[in-house]
C-alpha cells in the first residue's frame, strides 16, 4: 500500500514539474531560419529582460520601427533600432532571415526596408536570437559556440549596454529628436584613448580627459568600467548609457528590473563642459549669465561674434609676449577647475626655475608649479573653466608689459602696480591720493558685497538686484539652499529661469522655479523687489516675466529672504509692532517638489515639469484627495492617475506609508503602526519628494554615498496606475499583455483594447440576476487586489455572505474575510462580508497581499457527464478546476463518484480532485474536478485552420492531423489560440538536455517530497478515522495539492543544516532563516536585505557580485528577489547532503502516520 502512495505522490509532482518546466523549454527568444515575426509579434529574451518587435515612437502616428526595448517597460525604453532612417508607414512589416542568410525587414509589398548586408554566410542553417544582455545575434542553429556572424552590439544605435566594448570602431549616433529614431547630429566614440562627442561628424562637442595628467577630469569610473566591458559589470542589466538628441551623454541606473530609471551622471554637465566652449585664451564660468570672458591681456578675435554670444573663435593677445626686456613680463594668478592639457612638464623643486623656463620661451603662455615637484608649461590655453567649487588649481598666466613704468613684479614674479617718478608732483600727489581713496573705497565695497553675496547674503530689500550676467545668487544663512538664474539639467539652449537649488550641488538639484512658464532667452535677467513693492523677474528691457502680484506698496521695510528650509519668504515690518509679517512664501506656491516644513493641505498642488529639461507645468498634479480624508491623488490632467488606499478596506496594504503621511502633514499626523519606529522631524533632513514629469511621486534621501537615493515611489508599476485596465478588467504586471477581462466579460471597445488602450474596461456578456438566485454562478479569483467595496456587514460565515450577494441584483462580487487567529491564539479582528454593487475597478491579480474575490457570472453553467448533468458553482480558470453539486444521498467515495455516478472514462480529460464538501446553503455536496487543457483542433486541410491564425494543418506524433501553431507560436489552451512562444511540435532534444532536466526534476522531487511530508505530518488526523483507505486517500490529496501546502507551510525561515534535526527541524530552520534574511517591508529576500543580513548565513566575506549571483541563481520567476519557495529550493540545491536524507524522512513519515492510525 505504501508503494501506491509513493507512486501517487510522484505522479502528481512529476505533472507539476512538467507544467513548471515547459515554459523554459520554449525558445521564444529565437527565430529559426524558416520562420519570421510580423508586426504585432515579438520575441523575448530567455530571462524576460529584453523584447524585440515593432513600435511607434509617438502614439497615434503610424511610423513603425523594428527595435529592442526593456521587457514590460512602459513607455518602451528603446535600446536599439534597425530601420531608424526608413520607417514603415503601415503595420505590414515582417522580420526574419532571408534566403541569403541575411537579416531582412520587408513590408507587405516585399519592399526591403533594412538588412544586414553580409556575404559568405555559407549554407549553414541559421537562427536569430535575442540574448538577456540585449544583444541580437545571427548565428548557426546547430553551432552557437563558434561565434556570431552578426550582432547588434557591434552595430549599436544610440545606447551602450553592459557586455558591449567601446573601441575606435564602435560609434553611438543620437536620435534626430526625442521622438525620431533617425540618425541625429551627435555621435559618441573613442578616439586616441579619449571618449568624445562629435557634432555633424567633424566638430568636437565634448572630450574626456582634456586636462591630461595636470588634473583629473575624466568620466565617472563606473562609466569607464562599463565602456571597457569590465568584469564587475558583466551581465548587469540595470545600467545603460545613451547619447541623447541634444548631444548629452547620459548614464542611467535602476535599483531593480521593476524600478524606475534615474539619471546618475551626464556630460557635458553644463554649457562650460562643452569642448572649447569659449575658444582659445578665454575662460568659462557656468555661474555667470555671460559665461565667457577673455583672459587678462587678451581680447575677442571677433568682437561682433562675441557680442552675439558666439565664442568659438576665442581671444587673442593684445601685445606680444616677447619684447626686448624680459623683466617687463609679469604673471597673473588664475584659479581654474579645468584647463586643456599642457604641452610639456618636468620635475623640479623650485617654482623660480619653473617661471624661468617659461620666460625664456616666447610661446609659453602660462605655467603651474604643483606639489613642489612638477612644473607644467602651456603654449596654448583652451578649455579653461573657472568656478567657486573646491579643488581648483592655480596657473600663472604670462602678461605683457601693458603700461611701462606702472606694471612690475614682486619678488616671486607675480603682478602688482606702482607709480614711477614724474616731474608734476602736485598733480601726481592729487592723482595718487584720489586713486588711493577710490581704490580703497571700491575695495571695501567689493569685499563687503562679495561677502554678502557669496558667503552670507540670504536676503534682499527694496531696490536690490540679483543679476544673471554677474552670476549673483542668494545663499541661505546655513548654506543649505541657493537662489539664482539657471538653465535646466544641462540643456544646451539659452532658456534662463530663476530657481532655488541645493547649495554646493555639482549640478543644480532644483526644488522651486519662479518663471517656469516664461523663460528668459538671454542673460539680461534680474530678480528684484521693485518700487511698487512687488517681487519680479525682469529682462534687460524691464519686461516682467514673473511676479506673485503682491499689490502696490511703498514700504521700505519689505524683505525677501531665503531660509535654510528652502523657503523663499517675502515679509513686511508692521509699523506699529515692528514685527515681520509674511506676505508670500514659496512653500505655499510650490512647483514639483515638496520639502520638509511644507504642509500638504486642500490648497496645495504639486505640478510636474513638462519634461526632463523643461520646468513648464506638465500633465501631472499631486494633491490631497478631496473625496477621502488623509489620502492623496495624482491627476493626469482630468484623469485619475494614482490614488492612495484604493483598496484600503479590502486589503489595507496600498495605503501611503506612515512615514510619508507624517512628512506631508508637516509632522502633525499620528502614526499608528507598530512596525514604524518613533518618528520626528529630524529624521527628514536632506529629504525631498518630487512629482516627476512621468507622473511618479518619488521620495529621495541624501545618503552617506552623497547621492539621492530613491526610497519610495508610486505608481510603482503599470498595474499601480489608477484603474489601469478599466472596470472589470484585471491587471497583471508580470504578463506581456497586462490587462484581461474577467470571466464572463468582454472588452467594451475591442479596437481600443487591441491597441492596448484599456481605459474603456470590460462589459458583461450577459445580464446578471435571472428568475431566482440560483441562476447565477460565482468565479473565485485568488490573490486579488480590488477597489474598495461599496458596503460591508458582519457575517457568520461565507455562506451567509454569498447568499446576501445572490439576493441583491446589484451585487457584482463579494469577498468574505473570516476571523483571524494570531500565533498566541487570540482572535484578531472580526469576520466581514464585503459587497461590490457598482462596477469593479482597480483589479490586480497575483497581488502579494491579495485576497479571494468571488465574481458573479450570469446564468447557470452545467457540467454534462455520462452519468448526468450537474450544476457548476465555481470555476477557477488559472488552476483549471471547477466545482459541481451532487445530491447528498449519493455515495461520495472517489471510485463510486467517478465510475458509478459521473461515469467518467479513464481517458476522459476530467478528473476528480476533491469531494464530499457539503454546501450548507443548498444542502448538496460539492465536488472539485480538474480538466486537461484541450489540444489543438482536428483538421483535414489548411482551410480548416483559418479560424486559428498562425497555424497550419499537420500530423502529430500519434498520427492525427491538427492545426499546429507555426514557427515561434505555441498553443494556448485557455484562449484556444496560437500565441507567442514555441509551438507544441515534437522537437529533437539532446541527451545532455534530457539528463540535465531529469537531474533537476529529481532534486526538486526530493525537496517537495520532504516538504510535503512535514506538511502532512503537521495536519491533525481526524479522530475515529480507522480505515486504511482514508489514510491513503488523504495522503494522496495532500501530496497532489503540493503547491498550496508548501506555500502555507513555509511562512519564513533560516536554514541551518543539522542531521540531528531531521525533516521537521529542517523546516523550522528554513523558516527562521528566511525571516532573518528577508526585507520586512516586501516579504522577500532582496539583494539589499541579503547583503545587510548575510552574517546570519556566514556570508559576510562574500562580495556584492557573489551575493547577486546567489539571488539570480535562486530567482525562478525573474522578479529580482527570492520568495519563500525559491529560498527553500536554493538551500536544497546548495546542500546536496540534504538530498541523501530525503528518502529516509519520507519512509519515517509514512511509517509514523500509519502507526498513529493504528496500523
Q: How far is CA 143 from the centre of its chain?
A: 36
Among 93, 91, 90, smallest CA distance to 82 is for: 93
Residues 6 or more apart whose Cβ sits within 8 Å of residue 491:
246, 613
pLDDT at 217 over 80: no
Give the range among 431-435, 607-611, 792-796 with minimum mean pLDDT.
431-435
- Which CATH number does the domain housing residue 1043 bear? 1.10.238.10
Maximum Cα–Cα distance across the chain: 136
Residues 409 and 509 in one domain: no
CA angle, corner 731, sides to 725 and 736, nearest 5? 105
Domain region containing 178? 30-210+224-253
Residues 1135, 1003 contacting (CB under 8 angstroms): no
Residues 601 and 530 in one domain: no
Higher pLDDT, 112 or 828: 112
Read off the pLDDT of each residue in 721-733 and give the average, rounded to a whole number. 90
Residues 519 and 405 in one domain: no
Quick one: pLDDT at residue 107? 93
Residues 732, 784 contacting (CB under 8 angstroms): no
3-state secondary structure (DSSP) of residue 302? coil
Higher pLDDT, 414 or 79: 79
Give the range among 169-173, 240-244, 399-403 with minimum mean pLDDT.
399-403
pLDDT at 1145 over 90: no
pLDDT at 1136 over 80: no
Higher pLDDT, 259 or 1037: 259
Q: What confidence category does residue 432 fall into, taking pLDDT thresholds of 50, 70 and 90? A: very low
Terminal C-alpha separation, the chain: 12
pLDDT at 565 over 90: yes
Quick one: pLDDT at residue 986? 36
Higher pLDDT, 285 or 879: 285
Burial of 70 (0-12, 13-18, 19+ CB in 10 A): buried
Q: What confidence category does residue 324 fall into, taking pLDDT thresholds of 50, 70 and 90? A: very low
Q: What is the dihedral of CA 1019, 1021, 1022, 1024, to 10 degrees?
A: 180
Domain count, the chain: 8
Residues 90, 112 contacting (CB under 8 angstroms): no
Higher pLDDT, 1086 or 835: 835
- On whether residue 171 sits in a domain, the answer given is yes
Quick one: pLDDT at residue 54? 96
Read off the pLDDT of each residue in 824-839 and give the average, rounded to a whole number. 72
Write the DSSP string, 428-484. HHHHHHHHHHHHHHHHHHHHHHHIIIIII--EEETT-EEETTTT--EE-TTS-EEEE
Burial of 184 (0-12, 13-18, 19+ CB in 10 A): buried
Residues 6 or more apart whose Cβ sits within 8 Å of residue 656:
631, 632, 644, 645, 664, 714
Residue with cell 528554513: 1070
Q: What confidence category does residue 787 fall into, taking pLDDT thresholds of 50, 70 and 90? A: confident
Quick one: pLDDT at residue 486? 92
Strand ranges (E), 935-1090 = 951-955, 961-965, 969-972, 977-980
Q: Which neighbouring-strand residues pair with 699?
A: 689, 712
Last residue of a domain, one of 358, 390, 417: 417
Quick one: pLDDT at residue 1104? 73
> What average pLDDT is seen over the chain?
75
For the whole prediction, is pTM greater than 0.75? no
Quick one: pLDDT at residue 428? 40
Read off the pLDDT of each residue in 141-164 and give the average, rounded to a whole number. 88
Write out pLDDT tens, residues 345-358. Answer: 999 888 889 988 98
Last residue of a domain, one of 694, 716, 738: 716
Give the range among 909-923, 1005-1019, 1082-1096 with minimum mean pLDDT.
1005-1019
Quick one: pLDDT at residue 415? 44
Quick one: pLDDT at residue 568? 95
- Which CATH number does the domain housing residue 747 bear? 3.50.4.10
Write the DSSP string, 957-994. TTS-EEEEEPTTEEEETTTTEEEES---------HHHH
Higher pLDDT, 1099 or 60: 60
Distances (CA, A) of 1012 to 14, 131, 148, 204: 14, 37, 46, 67
Give the range among 42-46, 552-556, 611-615 with minimum mean pLDDT.
552-556
Quick one: pLDDT at residue 1100? 56
Residues 619 and 763 in one domain: no
Among 899, 814, 838, 828, smallest CA distance to 865 is for: 899
Residues 1152 and 1068 in one domain: yes
Last residue of a domain, one of 535, 561, 589: 589
Quick one: pLDDT at residue 554? 62
Write out pLDDT tens, residues 752-774. Answer: 898 888 989 999 888 887 655 55
Residues 841 and 741 in one domain: yes
- On whether residue 1141 sits in a domain, the answer given is yes
3-state secondary structure (DSSP) of residue 407? strand
Q: How many CA atoms lie within 13 A of 1087 on its CB side?
A: 17
Residues 192 and 246 in one domain: yes
- On whether residue 1022 sits in a domain, the answer given is yes
Residues 401 and 532 in one domain: no
Write the DSSP string, 736-786. SS-EEEPTTEEESSHHHHHTT--TT-EEESS-S--SSGGG-EEEEEEEEB-
Residue with cell 543649505: 480
* Distance between CA atoms of residues 313 and 298, nearest Å: 13
Residues 464, 472 contacting (CB under 8 angstroms): no
Residues 6 or more apart whose Cβ sits within 8 Å of residue 340:
210, 211, 212, 378, 380, 381, 382, 383, 384
Q: What confidence category does residue 1071 fall into, taking pLDDT thresholds of 50, 70 and 90? A: low
Tell me what percent of the residues of the chain surpass a pLDDT of 90.
25
pLDDT at 729 over 80: yes
Read off the pLDDT of each residue in 701-723 and give the average, rounded to a whole number. 85
- On whether residue 310 sits in a domain, the answer given is yes
3-state secondary structure (DSSP) of residue 357? helix
Q: What confidence category does residue 1068 fall into, taking pLDDT thresholds of 50, 70 and 90? A: low
Residues 998 and 1010 in one domain: yes
Give the range among 10-24, 563-577, 685-699 with minimum mean pLDDT.
10-24
Quick one: pLDDT at residue 770? 64
DSSP state of 490: G
Residues 501 and 552 in one domain: yes
- On whether residue 325 sits in a domain, the answer given is yes
State which of 8-12, 641-645, 1037-1041 shows the largest mean pLDDT: 641-645
- On whether residue 977 sits in a domain, the answer given is no
Distances (CA, A) of 564 to 172, 510, 595, 664, 739: 43, 15, 11, 19, 47
- Which CATH number does the domain housing residue 81 bear? 2.90.10.10
* Distance between CA atoms of residues 160 and 809, nearest Å: 58
Give the range among 24-33, 223-232, 1006-1015 with minimum mean pLDDT.
1006-1015
Higher pLDDT, 1041 or 460: 460
Checking phi first, is residue 859 left (phi over 0); if not, alpha (psi -120 to 50) or beta? left
* Distance between CA atoms of residues 1152 and 817, nearest Å: 36
Quick one: pLDDT at residue 923? 60
Cross-sheet strand order for the sheet of 239-243: 159-161, 239-243, 249-253, 262-267
pLDDT at 1019 over 60: no
Write the DSSP string, 312-343. TT-EEESS-S--S-GGG-EEEEEEESB-PPPS
pLDDT at 139 over 80: yes
Residues 6 or more apart whose Cβ sits within 8 Å of residue 1096:
1054, 1073, 1076, 1077
Q: Are strands 384-385 and 393-399 parallel, antiparallel or unpaired?
A: unpaired
Read off the pLDDT of each residue in 321-346 and give the average, rounded to a whole number. 75
Read off the pLDDT of each residue in 727-735 and give the average, rounded to a whole number. 85
Read off the pLDDT of each residue in 20-29 and give the average, rounded to a whole number. 47
Among 268, 263, 270, 266, smallest CA distance to 690 is for: 263
* Distance between CA atoms of residues 829 and 821, nearest Å: 9
Cβ count near 230 (within 10 Å): 15
- On whether residue 13 sits in a domain, the answer given is no
Q: What confidence category does residue 669 fall into, taking pLDDT thresholds of 50, 70 and 90? A: confident
Quick one: pLDDT at residue 826? 40
* Distance between CA atoms of residues 259 and 275, nearest Å: 34
Residues 1028 and 1095 in one domain: yes
Residues 706 and 845 in one domain: no
- On whether residue 973 sits in a domain, the answer given is no
3-state secondary structure (DSSP) of residue 43? strand
Read off the pLDDT of each residue in 1063-1072 and give the average, rounded to a whole number. 56
Q: Provide the grid cell at 1095.
A: 552574517
The sign of the dihedral angle between the CA atoms of 496, 499, 504, 506 is negative
Helix axes of 1137-1156 and 991-1018: crossing angle, nearest 10 degrees: 40
Amino acid at each position: 500500500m505504501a508503494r501506491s502512495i509513493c507512486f501517487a505522490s510522484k505522479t502528481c509532482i512529476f505533472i507539476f514539474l512538467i507544467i513548471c518546466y515547459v515554459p523554459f523549454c520554449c525558445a521564444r527568444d529565437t527565430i529559426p531560419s524558416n520562420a519570421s515575426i510580423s508586426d504585432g509579434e515579438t520575441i523575448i529574451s530567455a530571462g524576460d529582460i529584453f523584447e524585440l518587435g515593432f513600435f511607434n515612437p509617438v502614439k497615434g502616428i503610424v511610423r513603425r520601427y523594428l527595435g529592442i526595448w526593456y521587457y514590460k517597460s512602459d513607455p518602451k525604453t528603446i535600446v536599439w533600432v534597425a530601420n531608424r532612417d526608413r520607417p514603415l508607414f503601415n503595420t505590414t512589416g515582417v522580420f526574419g532571415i532571408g534566403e541569403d542568410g541575411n537579416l531582412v525587414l520587408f513590408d507587405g509589398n516585399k519592399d526591403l526596408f533594412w538588412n544586414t548586408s553580409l556575404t559568405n554566410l555559407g549554407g549553414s542553417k541559421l537562427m536569430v536570437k535575442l540574448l538577456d544582455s540585449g544583444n541580437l545575434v545571427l548565428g548557426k542553429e546547430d553551432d552557437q559556440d563558434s561565434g556570431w556572424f552578426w550582432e547588434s552590439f557591434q552595430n549599436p544605435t544610440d545606447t551602450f549596454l553592459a557586455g558591449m566594448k567601446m573601441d575606435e570602431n564602435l560609434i553611438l549616433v543620437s536620435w534626430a529628436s526625442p521622438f525620431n529614431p533617425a540618425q541625429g547630429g551627435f555621435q559618441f566614440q573613442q578616439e586616441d584613448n579619449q571618449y568624445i562627442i562629435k557634432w555633424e561628424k567633424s566638430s568636437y562637442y565634448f572630450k574626456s580627459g582634456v586636462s591630461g595628467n595636470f588634473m583629473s577630469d575624466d568620466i565617472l569610473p563606473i562609466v569607464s568600467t562599463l565602456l571597457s566591458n569590465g568584469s564587475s559589470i558583466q551581465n548587469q542589466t540595470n545600467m545603460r548609457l545613451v547619447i541623447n538628441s541634444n548631444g548629452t551623454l547620459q548614464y542611467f541606473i535602476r535599483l531593480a528590473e521593476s524600478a524606475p530609471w534615474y539619471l546618475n551622471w551626464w556630460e557635458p554637465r553644463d554649457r562650460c563642459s562643452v569642448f572649447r566652449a569659449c575658444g582659445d585664451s578665454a575662460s568659462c564660468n557656468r555661474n555667470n549669465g555671460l559665461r565667457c570672458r577673455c583672459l587678462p591681456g587678451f581680447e575677442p578675435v571677433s568682437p561682433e561674434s562675441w557680442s552675439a554670444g558666439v565664442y568659438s573663435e576665442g581671444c587673442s593677445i593684445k601685445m606680444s609676449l616677447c619684447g626686448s626686456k624680459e623683466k617687463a613680463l609679469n604673471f597673473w594668478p588664475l584659479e581654474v577647475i579645468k584647463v586643456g592639457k599642457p604641452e610639456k612638464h618636468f620635475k623640479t623643486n623650485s617654482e623660480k626655475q619653473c617661471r624661468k623656463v617659461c620666460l625664456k620661451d616666447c610661446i609659453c603662455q602660462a605655467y603651474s608649479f604643483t606639489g613642489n615637484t612638477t612644473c607644467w608649461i602651456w603654449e596654448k590655453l583652451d578649455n579653461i573653466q573657472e568656478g567657486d567649487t573646491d579643488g581648483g588649481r592655480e596657473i600663472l598666466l604670462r602678461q605683457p608689459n601693458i603700461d611701462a613704468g606702472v606694471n612690475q613684479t614682486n619678488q616671486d614674479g607675480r603682478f602688482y602696480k606702482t607709480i614711477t617718478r614724474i616731474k608734476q608732483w602736485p598733480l601726481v600727489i592729487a592723482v595718487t591720493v584720489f586713486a588711493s581713496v577710490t581704490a580703497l573705497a571700491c575695495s571695501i565695497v567689493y569685499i563687503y558685497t562679495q561677502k554678502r553675496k557669496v558667503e552670507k547674503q540670504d536676503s534682499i530689500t527694496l531696490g536690490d538686484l540679483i543679476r544673471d550676467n554677474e552670476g549673483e545668487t542668494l545663499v541661505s544663512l546655513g548654506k543649505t539652499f541657493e537662489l539664482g538664474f539657471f538653465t535646466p539639467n544641462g540643456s544646451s539652449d539659452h532658456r534662463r529661469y530663476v530657481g532655488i537649488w541645493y547649495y554646493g550641488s555639482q549640478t543644480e538639484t532644483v526644488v522651486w522655479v519662479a518663471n517656469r512658464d516664461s523663460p528668459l532667452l538671454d542673460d539680461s535677467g534680474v530678480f528684484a523687489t521693485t518700487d511698487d513693492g512687488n517681487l519680479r523677474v525682469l529682462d534687460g528691457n524691464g519686461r516682467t516675466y514673473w511676479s506673485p502680484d503682491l499689490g502696490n506698496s511703498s514700504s521700505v521695510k519689505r524683505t525677501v529672504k531665503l531660509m535654510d528650509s528652502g523657503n523663499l519668504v517675502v515679509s513686511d515690518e508692521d509699523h506699529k509692532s515692528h514685527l515681520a509679517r509674511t506676505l508670500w512664501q514659496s512653500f505655499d506656491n510650490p512647483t514639483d517638489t515638496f520639502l520638509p516644513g511644507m504642509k500638504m493641505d486642500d490648497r496645495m498642488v504639486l505640478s510636474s515639469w513638462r519634461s526632463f529639461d523643461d520646468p513648464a507645468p506638465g500633465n501631472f498634479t499631486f494633491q490631497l484627495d478631496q473625496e477621502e480624508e488623509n489620502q492623496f491623488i495624482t491627476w493626469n490632467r482630468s484623469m485619475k492617475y494614482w490614488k492612495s488606499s484604493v483598496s484600503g478596506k479590502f486589503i489595507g496594504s496600498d495605503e501611503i506609508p506612515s512615514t510619508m503621511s507624517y512628512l506631508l502633514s508637516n509632522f502633525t499626523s499620528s502614526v499608528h503602526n507598530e512596525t514604524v519606529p518613533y518618528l520626528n522631524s529630524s529624521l527628514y533632513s536632506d529629504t525631498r519628494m518630487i512629482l516627476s514629469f512621468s507622473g511618479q511621486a518619488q521620495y529621495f534621501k541624501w545618503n552617506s554615498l552623497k547621492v539621492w537615493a530613491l526610497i519610495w515611489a508610486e505608481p510603482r508599476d503599470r498595474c499601480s496606475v489608477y484603474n489601469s485596465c478599466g472596470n472589470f478588467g484585471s491587471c497583471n504586471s508580470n504578463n506581456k499583455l497586462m490587462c484581461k477581462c474577467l470571466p464572463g466579460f468582454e472588452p467594451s471597445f475591442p479596437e481600443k483594447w487591441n491597441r492596448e488602450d484599456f481605459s474603456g474596461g470590460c462589459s458583461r456578456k450577459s445580464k446578471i440576476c435571472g428568475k431566482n438566485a440560483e441562476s447565477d454562478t460565482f468565479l473565485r479569483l485568488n490573490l486579488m487586489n480590488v477597489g474598495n467595496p461599496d458596503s460591508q456587514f458582519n457575517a457568520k460565515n461565507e455562506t451567509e455572505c454569498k447568499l446576501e450577494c445572490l439576493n441583491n441584483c446589484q451585487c457584482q462580487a463579494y469577498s468574505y474575510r473570516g476571523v483571524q487567529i494570531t500565533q498566541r491564539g487570540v482572535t484578531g479582528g472580526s469576520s466581514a462580508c464585503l459587497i461590490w454593487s457598482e462596477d469593479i475597478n482597480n483589479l490586480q491579480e497575483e497581488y502579494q497581499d491579495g485576497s479571494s474575490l468571488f465574481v458573479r457570472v450570469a446564468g447557470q453553467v452545467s457540467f454534462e457527464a455520462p452519468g448526468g448533468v450537474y450544476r457548476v458553482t465555481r470555476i477557477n480558470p488559472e488552476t483549471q478546476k471547477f466545482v459541481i453539486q451532487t445530491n447528498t444521498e449519493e455515495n461520495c467515495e472517489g471510485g463510486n463518484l467517478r465510475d458509478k455516478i459521473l461515469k467518467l472514462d479513464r481517458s476522459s480529460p476530467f478528473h476528480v480532485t476533491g469531494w464530499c464538501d457539503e454546501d450548507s446553503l443548498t444542502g448538496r455536496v460539492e465536488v472539485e474536478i480538474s480538466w486537461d487543457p484541450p489540444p489543438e483542433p482536428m483538421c483535414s486541410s489548411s482551410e480548416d485552420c483559418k479560424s486559428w491564425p498562425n497555424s497550419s494543418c499537420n500530423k502529430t506524433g500519434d498520427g492525427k492531423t491538427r492545426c499546429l501553431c507555426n514557427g515561434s507560436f505555441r498553443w494556448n489552451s485557455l484562449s484556444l489560440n496560437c500565441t507567442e512562444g514555441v509551438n507544441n511540435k515534437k522537437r529533437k532534444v539532446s541527451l545532455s538536455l534530457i539528463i540535465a532536466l531529469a537531474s533537476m526534476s529529481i532534486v526538486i522531487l526530493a525537496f517537495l517530497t520532504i516538504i510535503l511530508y512535514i506538511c502532512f505530518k503537521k495536519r491533525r488526523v481526524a479522530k475515529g478515522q480507522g480505515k486504511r483507505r482514508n489514510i491513503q486517500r488523504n495522503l494522496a490529496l495532500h501530496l497532489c495539492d503540493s503547491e498550496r501546502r508548501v506555500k502555507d507551510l513555509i511562512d519564513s525561515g533560516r536554514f541551518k543544516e543539522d542531521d540531528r534535526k531531521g525533516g521537521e527541524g529542517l523546516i523550522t530552520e528554513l523558516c527562521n532563516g528566511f525571516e532573518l534574511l528577508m526585507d520586512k517591508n516586501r516579504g522577500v529576500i532582496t539583494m539589499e536585505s541579503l547583503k545587510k543580513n548575510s552574517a546570519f548565513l556566514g556570508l559576510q566575506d562574500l562580495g556584492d557580485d557573489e551575493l547577486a549571483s546567489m539571488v539570480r541563481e535562486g530567482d525562478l520567476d525573474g522578479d529580482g528577489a527570492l520568495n519563500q519557495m525559491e529560498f527553500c529550493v536554493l538551500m536544497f540545491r546548495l546542500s546536496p547532503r540534504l538530498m541523501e536524507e530525503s528518502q529516509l524522512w519520507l519512509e519515517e513519515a509514512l511509517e509514523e502516520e500509519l502507526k498513529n492510525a493504528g496500523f
